């Protein structure tokens, strides 16, 4: 099977073109191929294929084999892949994901014909935890919601971008033992389908610093939907402007929330790492 590895802000996935390849067991393949010692090494697997509703489809699987609903960084990589590998000449692409149609806008260098950046319309921010997660807990909204874990209280603001995010604002995130607290919040009974967890340090009203514990993958260098959720959470708690830069371990993303029509946009670059063949 032919594949390509791509990364956006250090969020790396293995990309397979279903126009040329066939994948029968993506959950098993994702676990195998994502292993950084016995596989290729990635945060998961992304399948690029045809679609009847959008121009193309994107299915993504986490490193543990679970299917993810959406990944903004992966969507940007898909946009670059589609254009530079000749699957489309469009610079405006509709991409069908598990969380619905997402719209990509490509910025292409006229000299090299390479995609320099991709802007993704991530859709609406959702604030009802019970609606998004089908939780048995009746919580119409979770804003600065106190959650006690290991004797320490964390204040969570919940935002879904088609996938769930528990956003926590705090200082000193560089020293945070994320591998201890991340999985406990991810698997907390409040979130029956698990949740992504973002730890945010506010630099100023237009700059946020972020570490992320991704549902099904652990700590990653970046999470596009998490950056979007974090900006929205910052706005509704009065911590930042509706347009800001989010600095992650793997790079910086630009996020904008158009509050009037509740549309969130994510902008950043994407890169090919290498191509290969797995047997």
CATH for 108: 3.10.310.10
Q: Given this model, what pLDDT does residue 279 score? A: 85
For 148-156, what is the mean pLDDT? 93
Whole-structure pTM value: 0.92
Q: Does residue 137 surpass a pLDDT of 50?
A: no
In the chain, how many domains are there? Answer: 2
Its domain, for residue 163, covers 129-261
Residues 142 and 56 in one domain: no
Residues 139 and 232 in one domain: yes
As annotated, the active-site residues are: 71, 223
Residues 66 and 183 in one domain: no
Residues 162 and 219 in one domain: yes
Q: What is the pLDDT of residues 88-130, one digit of tens each?
A: 999 999 999 999 999 999 999 999 999 999 999 999 999 875 5
Q: Given this model, what pLDDT does residue 173 score? A: 98
> Is residue 219 a contact partner of residue 180, using CB atoms and an 8 Å limit?
no
Residues 11 and 116 in one domain: yes
Residues 169 and 101 in one domain: no
Residues 52 and 102 in one domain: yes
Beta strand extents in the chain (DSSP E only): 2-8, 11-17, 44-49, 56-62, 67-68, 92-97, 100-108, 115-123, 145-149, 152-160, 164-169, 196-204, 207-214, 218-220, 243-248, 251-258, 263-268, 271-277
């Amino acid at each position: 099977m032919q594949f390509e590895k791509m990364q956006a802000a250090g969020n790396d996935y293995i990309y397979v073109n279903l126009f040329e390849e066939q994948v029968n067991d993506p959950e098993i393949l994702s676990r195998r191929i994502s292993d950084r010692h016995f596989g290729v090494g990635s945060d998961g697997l992304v399948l690029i294929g045809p679609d009847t509703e959008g121009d193309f489809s994107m299915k993504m699987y986490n490193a543990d084999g679970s299917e993810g609903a959406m990944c903004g960084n992966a969507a940007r990589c898909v946009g670059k892949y589609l254009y530079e590998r000749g699957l489309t000449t469009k610079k405006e692409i509709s991409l069908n994901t598990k969380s619905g149609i997402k719209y990509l806008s490509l910025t292409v260098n006229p000299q090299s014909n390479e995609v320099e950046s991709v802007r993704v319309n991530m859709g609406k921010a959702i604030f009802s935890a019970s609606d998004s997660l089908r939780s048995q807990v009746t919580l119409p909204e979770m804003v600065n919601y106190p959650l006690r874990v290991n004797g320490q209280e964390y204040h969570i603001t919940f935002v879904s971008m088609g996938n769930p995010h528990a956003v926590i604002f705090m200082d000193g995130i560089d020293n945070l033992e994320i591998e201890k607290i991340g999985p406990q919040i991810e698997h907390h009974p409040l979130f029956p389908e698990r949740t992504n967890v973002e730890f945010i340090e506010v630099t100023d009203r237009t700059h946020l610093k972020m570490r992320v514990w991704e549902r099904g993958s652990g700590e990653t260098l970046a999470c596009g939907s998490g950056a979007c959720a974090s900006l929205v959470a910052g706005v509704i708690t009065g911590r930042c402007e509706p347009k800001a830069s989010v600095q992650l371990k793997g790079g910086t993303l630009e996020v904008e929330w158009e509050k009037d029509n509740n549309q969130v946009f994510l902008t950043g670059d994407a890169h090919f790492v290498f191509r290969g063949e797995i047997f």
